[in-house]
């Protein structure tokens, strides 16, 4: 059996990668994908702890997270499409109209 600590480390590395993606990338789509990466890291943490604790609740919470991710994806992508229709790009750095 492999070391569960390493699975946790993997999850935290993925989470950090996702956070870095959110903060560094300019394309709204890639930022959103990075957020999905973060959510998956959360799921991995839950599965590892679920296994460690012998409690299925963790996996049930994963199920909810997936449902939320799906709902967010539907709304978020629709917003990105509307944004693109209006502005012809999805570049967050150029979306600075509101910045004072």
CA–CA gap between residue 49 and residue 43 (Å, rounded)? 10
Closest distance of CB 88 from another protein, Å: 9
CB 91 within 8 A of CB 31: no
User: Shortest distance, CB of residue 94 to another protein, whole angstroms?
Assistant: 10
Chain positions 9 to 28 lying near another protein, rule: CB under 8 A, are 9-10, 12-28
User: Half-sphere exposure (CA, 13 Å, Cβ side) for 39?
Assistant: 18
Q: How far is the CB of 21 from another protein (least distance, A)?
A: 3
| CA 88 – CA 17 distance, rounded (Å) | 28
Q: How many residues bind another protein (CB under 8 A)?
A: 95
Restricting to residues 39-98, name those near another protein by CB under 8 A: 39-87, 90-93, 95, 97-98
């Amino acid at each position: 059996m492999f070391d569960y600590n390493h699975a946790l480390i993997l999850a935290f590395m993925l989470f950090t990668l996702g956070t870095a993606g959110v903060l560094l990338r300019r394309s709204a789509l890639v930022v959103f994908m990075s957020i999905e990466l973060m959510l998956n890291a959360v799921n991995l943490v839950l599965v590892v702890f679920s296994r460690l604790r012998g409690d299925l609740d963790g996996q049930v919470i994963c199920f909810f997270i997936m449902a939320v991710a799906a709902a967010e994806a539907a709304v978020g992508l629709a917003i990105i499409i509307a944004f693109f229709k209006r502005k012809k790009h999805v570049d967050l750095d150029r979306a600075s109209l509101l910045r004072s």
